[in-house]
Structure 1
Amino acid sequence: MSDHSAWDEAVSRFAGINGSYYRRAFRRIGERRGYVPSFNVAAALFGPVWFGGRRLWSAFWPVLVADLLAAVLIAFALSGGASGEQGARADRLATLAATRLAEARTANDADPGSAMAKSLTRSAAALEQAAKDARQAAEDARSGASLIVAIGGGLLLLARLAAGGLADHIAERRFREWRLEGDAGKAGFSLLHAAGAAGLLAVFVPIVFLHFADRTLFDAVPSDPAWNSAAAARLNAGVAAVSGAASPVAGRLTAAIDAMLGLMEGILTGTPWPVVMAVILALAWQLAGFRVFLLTFVAVSYLAILGYWEKSMQTVALLGTAALISVAIGIPLGVLCGYNRRVAAVMRPLLDFMQTMPAFVYLIPVIALFGIGKPSGIIATVIFGIPPVVRLTALGIASVPAAVREAAVAFGASRTFILFRIDLPTAAPSIMAGVSQTILMCLSMVVIAALIGAKGLGEDVLHALQYAAQGQGLLAGLAILLCAIVLDRIVQGRQSP
């Protein structure tokens, strides 16, 4: 059998239905580079049903969403659009205006020219004008319904034209993948999947039209408030039980963090400010060079001149404690994840949870376990800041070339030697990037940590938010920004741009 005949047979097995059409279309697409004009009438007519039957899911969902969006626009316009709401509002205002006018007449009959009668008359006139404006808005919305129908129809037509013009190209790409992989599940036309796609349309489109025909039909999700209350009560009991059981350990952990924070804060705030400032500038020069030294000088001058020096040192102490704990836990954990894929698979959803969960949510169990104060702020900051150093350390360890390790093993190197003399130095750029990201993530928590008793610059930003002191908030925010920039440049060292 010739290669041409084998190719034709493969296309026929892949297409399943109307194989001759797809042989011509695939041959035309394969002979030329770039986009080749082609239009699949079946894909244009049946849209998501065709893509579902072909199991081309990357195109199925966009076409389905476009169809549903067009249905929403058309149903919204046919139901009157916003004119129904405006008309109901106009009727309510007209009823209220009539009531207010009757009250004004009664007051005027009782005491002609009284202030109450005049006030009620003005109120009735204002309500009548508002009702007229609402009716005019309803008329404008009703006149715009035809435009919305045209937009919905145009969207549907455009989506189907795009589906027809791209269907053969998407199917041809899937055919090439099928020939390489030999996956029988990607060949042929699946009537079951096509029926499923058609069922989705048969369910969703009527629901859309029924909803706009009667806005109260699917207005609210059916729920039972008692379920929420019962679940919250169980969680309260669970948190109380865990808090009571963990109170001895939590107390010792709080004391340890408090002692560490007190030592660092005492060093930064108790030492005379010229000494601390000189040490910071010397570190900037030594570790990162002259440009970062100038940046650090500008930053510390800003903090000192505007009176933020002591609070910035409190913030640095809070940040330093949280960052040290994060790095001390994160680097060994990242090394373990880099060596062991199972541990990495277990840690990945936990790290995702720690980064995506809003900080205000996990402040609740932290407060329940550790109370209000600086240690709780540090623990919340550690939870938020530890994922970057774990991820980037694991990435750095996993990226060490296997040939380097094999050469070390061939020369008789131990596991400890490989870890400390090969893997960690090779992965050092990635690890330092993780440390820098952790520091910045921890610094971004200072305002949130101020909500539970942490001091520092976050307290000034919090007060500015409470009392709408825009200037004070901007000055404190700029101080936090300068601290972040300086710390990031010093940690990155001479590799910083």
Structure 2
Amino acid sequence: MNARDPHATGRLEPPTEGRLVEEFAVQNPHYYVDRFSRIRRAQNSVWPFNVAAAVLGPVWAAARGIAVLFWIVFFLEMLAVVQVGIGAVGNLGAAEQARAERLTKQATARAEQAQAAQASGADNAEGLKSSAAALQRAADKASEQAQAAGQKAPLLIGTGLLTLLFARIINGFLANRLLERRFARWRSNQALGHGLNYPLALCAFIFCILAYGLSIYRFAWANPAGWIMAAPSNRDWQVGLSSGLDGLMEGISHAGEGFFGAVTGGISLVLDGLSYALTGMPWPVTMAVILILAWQLAGSRVTIFTAAALAYLALLGFWEKSLETVALLGTSAVLCLVIGIPLGIWCGRRPRVYTALRPVLDFMQTMPAFVYLIPVIALFGIGKPPGVIATLIFGTPPVVRLTALGLQGVPPAIREAAQAYGATRWFLLTRVDLPLAMPSIMAGINQTILMCLSMVVIASLIGAKGLGEDVLNALQYAAVGQGLLAGFAILLCAMVIDRIVQGRAR
């Protein structure tokens, strides 16, 4: 017996690439064995043309499970069939022709009025004649535009057919390349579909037919049905839901009046104290303290930048308002960090907690900033504290996410080594996890400061003063220069705080 016989040793040879391609392709396997081999052997990119893909279009892409190619070809064909439909069915000059007929009737009526006025010897006869002539010229021009629009039908049909041909050619050239990439993924994960998925192809065919037909009906017909022009809506439902939400917010406001008042009072106490400390001291002392802190925490370069920024704020009259903005920004950022960093540490060490909080963080981060102001005003009123609360909601998610991401990125081997030497949980957190996660945490702090900065102007809408008020006034009165100067002042305040904080981290 031959020693090289795989059956003699009891082992099976791994399948060759050709056999894997045959198993993956199922239909027409020899074709794909040859094309995939050409693609892999070529030193430069080769794009073998797939005739079946070009003929079947997006249906072939759906049958082979190539979603990207399906959508590319689908949208191109959608554009093509709409152009062909408008050119073949749509009355391109209908609107202009109707306008021409309307103007012609008006011109005829005005001419009759002019003749009657001339017969009676009225003074406005010449004016009526001029008006009738102007209306007739407008009618003639509209009629010419209608004829010109009608002559564009062959051009639209030709353009649509060329677009359709282009889509099919694109599908033919991309098909084998993208299918070969899917084959490479299938080799490592054979749970992916292979062969032709006939049910999916049938669904894709029905979807394309319906989408193309409805699109042609919508754009090509002169008077399509109302159900396709506008989505169904029920105004009564909206009114009922909004009334219910009004009642709910009013009930929450009354039930938690003491709690919301305590929160507002606490934030006001911190804000007023910080604002008084910053604005009450002589400005040379405040400036000197800021410069000394910048030098101690971030170095000489940041100190020079800070000095230039403070000079800008002082010389242009933004000093007091900038300190109020710093108080608002600083209070918001500190609250965001005090809440966000511990929450991020908890999420980083408890994946289930992070999974539960992720939808909440997504909601907080994706909801438009102006929407936060509505419930905040309803519960906390107007002024600086509601502005801080709205900023807190908007600025907390980045530091939570990046703190959790930094802790999750700590190498397990380092943690295991520290535990092997008897490290406690507190030692592991403060001496291993946090130092290694510090770059990600500092990035979260930077993003939180920027988020708080972006809310300064928005918070001015509900009574939070400072530089945001100047920007708001500039928007109301179209004072471009004032708005730009105040915007640069806000930017410099945030950059000074960020440079000092980041310098301390380094």
| Partner residue, 1:423 | 433
CA-to-aligned-CA distance 1:351-394 (integer Å, 9 cap, x gap): 22212111111211111111111111111111111111111111
- Structure 1 distance, partners of 2:386, 2:22, is 66
Farther-moved stretch of structure 1 (242-251 vs 376-385) = 242-251
- Structure 1 distance, partners of 2:119, 2:198, is 79
| Partner residue, 1:486 | 496
Q: Indicate the SS of the match to 1:35.
A: coil
- Structure 2 distance, partners of 1:493, 1:110, is 92
| Partner residue, 1:272 | 282
In the alignment, does 2:263 pair up with 1:253? yes
Farther-moved stretch of structure 1 (214-223 vs 362-371) = 214-223
1:131 is displaced (CA, Å) by: 4.1
- Structure 1 distance, partners of 2:500, 2:396, is 20
User: Is the 1:80–1:142 contact (alpha carbons within 8 Å) kept by the matching residues of 2?
Assistant: no
1:121 is displaced (CA, Å) by: 6.3
2:206 counterpart (196, 199, 208): 199
1:90 is displaced (CA, Å) by: 4.0
In the alignment, does 2:187 pair up with 1:176? no
| Partner residue, 1:386 | 396
1:156 is displaced (CA, Å) by: 1.8
User: Is the 2:294–2:306 contact (alpha carbons within 8 Å) kept by the matching residues of 1?
Assistant: yes
User: Is the 2:111–2:132 contact (alpha carbons within 8 Å) kept by the matching residues of 1?
Assistant: yes
| Partner residue, 2:3 | none
In the alignment, does 2:153 pair up with 1:150? no
Q: Indicate the SS of the match to 2:224.
A: coil
2:86 counterpart (76, 82, 105): 76
1:44 is displaced (CA, Å) by: 0.3
Question: Which letter does structure 2 place at the counterpart of 1:436?
Answer: N
2:335 counterpart (325, 333, 351): 325
User: Is the 2:90–2:222 contact (alpha carbons within 8 Å) kept by the matching residues of 1?
Assistant: no
2:465 counterpart (437, 449, 455): 455
1:128 is displaced (CA, Å) by: 4.5
User: 1:466–1:152: structure 2 CA closer, same or farther, 3 Å change rule?
Assistant: same
Question: Which letter does structure 1 place at the counterpart of 2:385?
Answer: P
Question: Which letter does structure 2 place at the counterpart of 1:344?
Answer: Y
User: 1:4–1:366: structure 2 CA closer, same or farther, 3 Å change rule?
Assistant: closer
User: 1:179–1:239: structure 2 CA closer, same or farther, 3 Å change rule?
Assistant: same
CA RMSD, 1 decimal: 2.6
- Superposition pairs for residues 459-474 of structure 1, below 5 Å? 459-474=469-484
User: Is the 1:269–1:310 contact (alpha carbons within 8 Å) kept by the matching residues of 2?
Assistant: yes
Q: Indicate the SS of the match to 1:221.
A: coil
CA-to-aligned-CA distance 1:201-241 (integer Å, 9 cap, x gap): 11111111111214432221122222221222222222222
1:34 is displaced (CA, Å) by: 3.8
User: 1:127–1:300: structure 2 CA closer, same or farther, 3 Å change rule?
Assistant: farther
Percent identity over paired residues: 51
1:327 is displaced (CA, Å) by: 0.5
1:112 is displaced (CA, Å) by: 2.4
| Partner residue, 1:368 | 378
1:54 is displaced (CA, Å) by: 1.1
Counting matched residue pairs gives 493
User: Is the 1:289–1:494 contact (alpha carbons within 8 Å) kept by the matching residues of 2?
Assistant: no
TM-score normalised according to structure 2 size = 0.90
- Structure 2 distance, partners of 1:73, 1:186, is 35
Farther-moved stretch of structure 1 (235-244 vs 193-202) = 235-244
Q: Indicate the SS of the match to 1:342.
A: helix
User: 1:63–1:112: structure 2 CA closer, same or farther, 3 Å change rule?
Assistant: same
- Structure 1 distance, partners of 2:322, 2:185, is 58
2:224 counterpart (198, 205, 216): 216
Q: Indicate the SS of the match to 1:451.
A: helix
In the alignment, does 2:484 pair up with 1:477? no
1:96 is displaced (CA, Å) by: 5.0
| Partner residue, 1:65 | 75
Farther-moved stretch of structure 1 (125-134 vs 388-397) = 125-134
- Structure 2 distance, partners of 1:271, 1:106, is 87
- Structure 1 distance, partners of 2:326, 2:455, is 12
Question: Which letter does structure 2 place at the counterpart of 1:169?
Answer: R
- Structure 2 distance, partners of 1:295, 1:162, is 54
| Partner residue, 1:353 | 363
Q: Indicate the SS of the match to 2:256.
A: helix
User: Is the 2:91–2:222 contact (alpha carbons within 8 Å) kept by the matching residues of 1?
Assistant: no
Question: Which letter does structure 2 place at the counterpart of 1:424?
Answer: L
- Structure 1 distance, partners of 2:145, 2:66, is 45
- Superposition pairs for residues 290-309 of structure 1, below 5 Å? 290-309=300-319
Question: Which letter does structure 1 place at the counterpart of 2:84?
Answer: I
CA-to-aligned-CA distance 1:138-162 (integer Å, 9 cap, x gap): 4443344433333332222222111
Q: Indicate the SS of the match to 1:37.
A: coil
Farther-moved stretch of structure 1 (125-134 vs 1-10) = 1-10
- Structure 2 distance, partners of 1:196, 1:19, is 24
- Structure 2 distance, partners of 1:339, 1:141, is 67
| Partner residue, 2:9 | none
| Partner residue, 2:47 | 37
Unaligned 5+ residue runs, structure 2?
A: 1-5, 7-11
Unaligned 5+ residue runs, structure 1?
A: none
1:253 is displaced (CA, Å) by: 0.7
- Structure 1 distance, partners of 2:330, 2:215, is 55
